[in-house]
Amino acid sequence: MHTLNKLIESKKLNDVFYAPLDSVIIESQFWTYSNSTDVDEIDYNTVLKNDVDQSEAAEVLTSYLNDFFTTNKIPTRVAVHTPDPLTNPKTIINPGHPKYPNNLIIGGNQGLAGENNKKGSSKFLMNLFLATYGDNFSHSDIDPARLAHHIGSIIRHEIIHMNQIEARRKQQRISRLDTLKKYRAEGEIPSGDSREDYLSSKIEIDAYAHEIAEELINKHGAAKALDVLRGKFMPQSSESSNEFKEYFVDFADSQFTRRLKRKIFGHIMDLSQNSLMTQEEE
């Protein structure tokens, strides 16, 4: 008879990860700095001994976020990467791109610095990926508040993963690296390309429950967000994230989506009751 290791799941995030974090992102005004597809303008830097290709905008955002993490004693550092636009043309943003204009960070992950080099560092490292501006990109189309909220939401998702690793490490009295190895061995960090495996992972459900709760409150308000969970209201496809559509449409009848909905409910109640998230103004 096998005993499954209990997954350590994140609960509420510290209030500093909401308005204070979004304010720092707005204060940086990183989007006003050079961020073109000209590879000659990309610098080669290191963060926690990991190589990072960065436009000037990526360097500025990295600096502001790391100052924020240091000031608030958050045990991770961030590296904002600029994907090579020549080999990653989908990361070039122009009008018509699905990420235009406010979803400039197109992905992220939370891991350990030592996983990517031979130094074996056990320090947390968050990687964010900043799209580059195409020839028709217009800075005037950016809404700083929406841009900051989008980036903040991705960071909050990754901070939940950091907390999962750290909580389990402390409970089981093992290293961060061994914690990651256990999650992988249990299939909680899928090694393949299966979206179902990824979306059904309990640690991803925990992180996406918070992210989707934010999305629903931000776009529809708390009351309608709860109506979504009750099946009384379904947002239009055009105003929903890909992950929302995957959980609520593609895998609507799955057990893992039911688990996700229970967690979303708790986050909606917490975020709305504590005024951590409000509906965007049109």
Q: Which residues contact 56 (CB under 8 A, 6 or more apart)?
A: 33, 34, 35, 41, 43
Look up residue 100 and give its DSSP letter: T
Between 114 and 261, the more confident residue is 261
pLDDT in tens, 224-267: 999 999 999 999 998 899 999 999 999 999 999 999 999 999 99
255-273 and 202-229 helices, crossing angle to 10°: 70
Report residue 138 as tokens.
């217009």
> What is the helix (H) or strand (E) element at residue 125, kind and residue range?
strand 124-130
- Residue 253 CB-half CA count within 13 A: 0
Predicted local confidence at residue 36, as pLDDT: 92
What integer pLDDT is reported at residue 118 of this predicted model?
54
Q: Find all residues with CB under 8 Å of 170, minimum gap 6, and list them.
A: none
- pTM of this structure: 0.93
Q: Per-residue pLDDT averaged across 49-58, rounded?
A: 95
